[in-house]
Amino acid sequence: MKPPLNISRIKLSIQKREEVSRKFDAILTFISICVALFVVAVIFLSFGINAFVAFKQIFISLLNADIVTVRMIPLLLCSIGLIIVFKANVWNIGAEGQILIGAVAATWIALFLMPDASSYVVIPCMFILGFLLAGLWALIPATLRAYLDINEIITTLMMNYIAYFLVAYLASGPWIGKAVWGFKQTDLIPPQARLPQIKGTLIHYPTLIIAIIGAVLVYILLQYTKFGFEIRVFGSNPEAAKYAGINEAKVILLTMFISGGLAGIAGVGELAGVRYRLTANPKGLSADYGFTAIIVACLARFNPIAAILVSYLMGGIIVGGYALQTSLNVSRGVVNIFNGLILLSLISAEILKRYKISFKVVKSR
Amino acid sequence: MSLESLISPLYEMILLSTPIIFATIGEIYAERSGILNLGIEGIMSLGAAIAFVIAYTTGNITLGIFLALVAGGLLALIHALVSINFNANQVISGLALAMLGLGLSSFVGKKYVGLRLELMLQPIKIPLLSSIPLIGPVFFNQDILVYTAYILTIALWFLLYKTKWGLYIRAVGENPYAADSMGINIYLVRYLCTVFGGMLAGLGGAYITVVYMHTWREGITMGKGWVAVALVIFAFWDPLKGFLASLFFGGIEVAAIELYSIYGLNTHLTNMIPYAAVIVVMMFSASEIMKKRIGAPASLGKPFIREKRR
């Protein structure tokens, strides 16, 4: 006879958690990524794709610092901008379009406004105009939100499509190149307007430097300035912000302007550092960076410094996705699947931060 | 202009509107119960891909449409789980769902891009009604799914405003704590509404590929899911108005196509029109909302945490 079990029941208790350490945050993030990887593996296997080979490919891609950094640059620029608006509880989903507007600004300067200017003039001008135009583009939905209370999620999304067709129009119409033999694209921008690269790599370092300095500046803005304080108060408690005399419209307009502008800089970098021309199919240029940046912002827990690391990681996943596309002949959409899953598991794990689940063995009698 | 010449563009308007009608009235139900589902674009896209792939491989349109419905419901179920049980941020969850749906659709449809579906749903003439001049050939010479959209719109409007169940749904969306103390199962109502909304979005996606375009490519939904979320606001969360708003949007799409094909405007410029129209329309509804003080369900997007009840 088996000895009688002296455990009568296992008591499950759920308690509220008070404080959550940063370490716990990091563990949750790691677990979320693992869960997402696991689900992707299941999807792969159900389609008869060897998940192990696929993951190895993504891991190898992460080590390819050259190409990954190129992908990281726009992600970092967009995500630090998104961190600012998200902290204010304003949802800019329009980074994708704002990237395109930045690219339009760069093309306009390089091809039409100052085709003969030297690098020292044309490159700063591209960045400045890219920032301003994309910032203004983001101000349209921001104004509608600030003064008419129109949901900015919808309007920024719609503006993405408008920006997309604007580029398609420019590249196939008024700006169509003279030397493109019927392709719907602009001419290449002149060599002096192209961003310099680190020797032997494709990394256009001016944009990288702007992005990293930008991340530090955004951190300082949010943590140590009065405006940063206003952003955080408005974002976490708009009622309190009102009583504290914080100007609601100012927070919405300014955060959206900066966020749009940073995405615009990403667009300038993509155009003048990677692509050198606009085409009538601009999806390749914005390449979902605007959406992926949302994930970067969330994974980085809205910390601009952490965003540097996370955007490198996500850059690696994008590169890995492209590699899978050719080696395993799967769709690039795999990256989107993975992105969606990471985000879902990440926000689901948030509940573990609020509640502590513990098991207690209660002995019988 | 004769009446005859209006038939074809108006007929086209119904075809273009139908997927948005499904998505919009579905999302109205989800939002009425307090769940904001921004993932509609992804759900529609997956529905579009699955319906096409199944219809193409099995030659059975009905099966394709049915599985699109199921897939839409399943995706929405994820959103329901994450936002109802895990109290997650519904905006982020919805966006994640959109990415997931778009990714899955391109994954599933990879081998079928650009293929042509020879099957189609035949239009059914409704006796008597179809002989009304103009209205008959436009509204009552359509396929079965269009009629489904008509009937669903009316049924859902009736359910929402004239029945006990509708009252429950609205109560859950307005004040779940009060509804909870009345003994309404908040979780059940929210789950049902969200999943139902997802199923309709999947159906809308299926309509785009299987009935209207007869083909599949990535991004075929062209933001119609996002448009549906916008139209919900424009329709003030009312299925009947949602139907009309969708027709209006379909009309604008047809007008944009006409501007391009008849008046020779640049196709990229005319393509912008529907999206710009959504923004303009939202500006109008914003002033209406301010004037009449009607707005979103009060608890839209807010998780229900029972221990918070006061």
Q: Name the residue of chain B whose CA is nearest to A86's CA.
A: B92
CATH architecture designation of domain A67-329: Orthogonal Bundle (1.10)
* CA nearest to B278, candidates B227, B213, B214: B227
| Residue from B41, B75, B83, B99 to probe the interface with A (highest A Cβ count within 10 Å) | B99
The H helix count followed by the E strand count for chain A is: 14, 2
**Partner A, chain B 146-185, Cβ-Cβ below 8 Å:** none
Name B141's bridge partners.
B125
* pLDDT recorded at residue A357: 67
3-state secondary structure chain B: CCHHHHHHHHHHHHHHHHHHHHHHHHHHHHHHCCCCCCCHHHHHHHHHHHHHHHHHHHCCHHHHHHHHHHHHHHHHHHHHHHHHHCCCCHHHHHHHHHHHHHHHHHHHHHHHCCCECCCCCCCEECCCHHHCCCHHHHHCEECHHHHHHHHHHHHHHHHHHHCHHHHHHHHHHHCHHHHHHCCCCHHHHHHHHHHHHHHHHHHHHHHHHHHHHCECCCCCCCCHHHHHHHHHHHCCCCHHHHHHHHHHHHHHHHHHHHHHHCCCCCHHHHHHHHHHHHHHHHHHHHHHHHHHCCCCCCCCCCCCCHHHCC
Whether B128 is covered by a domain: the verdict is: no
Whether A91 sits inside 8 A of B91 (CB atoms) is yes
Q: A232-263 pLDDT, tens per residue?
A: 999 998 888 888 889 999 999 999 999 999 99
What ipTM goes with this model? 0.91
- Please tell me which of the candidates B38, B107, B271 has its beta carbon nearest to residue A153: B38
Do residues B277 and B252 touch, judged by C-beta distance below 8 A?
yes
Number of structural domains found in chain B: 1
Chain B residue at shortest CA distance from A141: B279
Is the pLDDT at B219 greater than 90, yes or no? Answer: no
Distance to chain A for B88, nearest Cα, Å:
6
Question: Which of B93, B107, B289 comes nearest A334 by C-beta?
Answer: B107
Domain of B203? 3-117+135-305
Name, in order, each residue with C-beta under 8 angstroms of A178's C-beta and a sequence gap of 6 or more.
A187
B129 domain-assigned: no
With 50 as the cut, is the pLDDT of residue B310 above it? no
Chain A hits for B222, Cβ within 8 Å: 161
Q: Which residues of B touch A162 (CB under 8 A)?
A: 272, 275-276
Tell me whether residue B177 is in a domain.
yes
**Does A169 sit within 8 Å of B101, measured CB to CB?**
no
Q: Which uninterrupted H or E stretch holds A222? A: helix A205-224
B82 in a structural domain: yes
pLDDT per residue over B91-133, tens digit each?
999 999 999 999 999 989 988 998 998 888 888 888 888 888 8
Q: Taking residues A335-342, what's their average pLDDT?
A: 89
> Which residue of chain A is at minimal alpha-carbon distance from B39?
A340
Interchain pair B279, A336: CB under 8 A? no
**Closest Cβ opposite residue B223 in set A161, A168, A298:** A161
Residues of A in contact with B23 (CB under 8 A): none
Residue B102 Cα, gap to closest chain A Cα (Å): 7
Q: Judged by CB atoms within 8 Å, which residues 301-360 of A form the interface with B?
A: 330-341, 343-344, 347-348, 350-351, 354
Orientation of helix A248-270 relative to helix A65-87, angle to 10°: 170
**Count of Cβ atoms closer than 10 Å to residue B64 Cβ:** 25
Measure the CA–CA gap between B198 and B187, rounded to whole angstroms: 16
B118 CB-side CA count, 13 A: 3
Does the pLDDT of residue A3 top 80, yes or no?
A: no
pLDDT per position as a tens digit, A27-51: 888 888 888 888 888 888 888 888 8
Q: Please name the residue of chain B whose CA is at the shortest distance from the CA of residue A174.
A: B266
B206 falls within a domain: yes
SS3 content of chain A, % helix, strand, coil (to 5): 70, 5, 25
Show residues of chain A in contact with B286, CB under 8 Å: 144, 148-150
Which has the higher per-residue pLDDT, A228 or A15?
A228
Number of residues assigned to chain B: 310
**Is residue B14, in this structure, part of any structural domain at all?**
yes
Three-state SS at A364: coil
pTM of the model: 0.91
- Residue indicated by tokens 């996370």: A310
How far is Cα A302 from Cα A76, in angstroms, rounded to an integer? 12
Question: Which of A93, A160, A333 minimises the CB distance to B95?
Answer: A93
Say what percent of chain A tops pLDDT 90.
57
Per-residue confidence (pLDDT) for residue A183, from 0 to 100: 84
The pLDDT of residue A151 is above 70? yes
The partner residue sitting opposite B286, judged by closest CB among A150, A334, A339, is: A150
Q: Cβ–Cβ of A153/B86 closer than 8 Å?
A: no
d(CA B275, CA B112) in angstroms, rounded, equals: 28
B contacts of A154 (beta carbons < 8 Å): 226, 229-230, 233, 278, 282
Select the highest-mean-pLDDT range: B200-204, B265-269, B271-275. Answer: B200-204
Tell me if chain B has a CB within 8 Å of the CB of A41.
Answer: no
Contact B99 A291 (CB under 8 A): yes
Say if residue A360 is exposed, middle or buried (CB neighbours under 10 Å; 0-12, 13-18, 19+).
Answer: exposed
CA distance A314 to A78: 13
Q: In this model, does residue A365 exceed pLDDT 60?
A: no
Q: Which of residues 21-40 of B touch A (CB under 8 A)?
A: 38
Query: B residues 101-140 near A, CB within 8 Å?
Result: 101-107, 109-110
A298 contacts in chain B (CB < 8 Å): 92
Residue numbers in B near A172 (CB within 8 A): 268
B268 pLDDT higher than 70: yes
* Contact status, residue A291 vs residue B41, Cβ threshold 8 Å: no
Task: Tell me whether residues A43 and B110 touch, CB distance under 8 A.
Answer: no
pLDDT given for residue A52 in this prediction = 84
Choose among B82, B98, B99: nearest Cβ to A347: B82
Cα nearest neighbour of B107 on chain A? A331
Q: How far is B241 from chain A (nearest CA, A)?
A: 19
Residue B60 pLDDT level (bands cut at 50, 70, 90): very high
What CATH number is associated with residue B229? 1.10.3470
Mean pLDDT value across residues A46-68: 85
Q: Is residue B27 part of a domain?
A: yes
For B162-212, how does the pLDDT look when each residue is reduced to its tens digit (9 = 90+)? 999 999 999 999 999 999 999 999 999 999 999 999 999 999 999 999 999
